[in-house]
């Protein structure tokens, strides 16, 4: 069974990469190579695009997604739209490989295990794993995570300014106290 989309298929490895970078205090340029240990669905979805030439293709390229995470800390719509073809992302992309991992493959689709191995420029080999990627039921988004994502998406779509998005969020957080939900957001925009 193939993953629903490229970002979903890359998400576990991206979380594992970010965890390794944080734990070992690595900068993107400290990393010589990344191997993402993935399930067959990820290989099927992410393996055919080697050098993306569109934003859509970039979503389906493990190296691009991991490069964006390494350099930008996040691989959202803004980063994909503006940065997928940047030189540093392209160079990082070339240092990423995917291999079939039996454990991840057996667990999929019930669990999306993220595993990466990193080779550093100073000769170390590091490993990281994430058993539940951010956003899964066992690793839910915090209120801050939700707010950040909402503000980013509102800005990307030009649906609301940052101030308007924050005002909408403040109203949303108080929805349980509203006398009438239909009128909750009328005064915000």
What's the chain's Rg over C-alpha atoms? 18
Domains, the chain, ordered by start: 6-135 (3.30.1330.120), 143-183 (no CATH)
pLDDT of residue 1: 32
pLDDT of residue 174: 87
Q: What is the mean pLDDT of each run of 10 residues along the chain (189 residues)?
A: 65 97 98 98 93 95 97 94 96 98 96 97 98 92 94 92 93 85 63
Model-wide pTM > 0.85: yes
- Strands (E) in 29-70, as ranges, are 31-38
pLDDT of residue 188: 58
pLDDT of residue 79: 93
Please, which residues have CB within 8 angstroms of residue 79's CB and are 6 or more apart in sequence? 68, 72
pLDDT of residue 187: 60
Q: What is the pLDDT of residues 124-160, one digit of tens each?
A: 999 999 999 998 889 999 999 999 999 999 999 999 9
* Residue in the block written with tokens 């992309």: 93
């Amino acid at each position: 069974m193939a993953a629903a989309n490229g970002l979903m298929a890359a998400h576990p490895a991206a979380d594992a990469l970010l965890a390794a970078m944080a734990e070992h205090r690595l900068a993107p340029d400290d990393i010589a190579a990344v191997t993402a240990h993935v399930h067959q669905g990820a290989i099927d979805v992410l393996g055919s695009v080697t050098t993306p030439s569109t934003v859509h293709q970039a979503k389906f390229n493990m190296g691009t997604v991991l490069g964006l995470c390494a350099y930008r800390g996040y691989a959202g719509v803004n980063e994909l739209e503006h940065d997928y073809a940047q030189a540093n992302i392209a160079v990082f992309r070339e240092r990423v490989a995917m291999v079939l991992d039996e454990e991840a493959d057996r667990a999929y689709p019930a669990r999306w295990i993220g595993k990466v191995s990193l080779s550093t420029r100073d000769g170390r080999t590091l490993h990281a794993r994430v058993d539940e990627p951010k956003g899964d039921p066992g690793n839910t988004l915090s209120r801050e995570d939700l707010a950040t994502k909402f503000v980013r998406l509102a800005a990307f779509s030009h649906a609301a300014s940052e101030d308007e998005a924050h005002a909408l969020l403040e109203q949303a957080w108080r929805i349980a106290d509203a006398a009438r939900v239909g009128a909750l957001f009328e005064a915000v925009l």
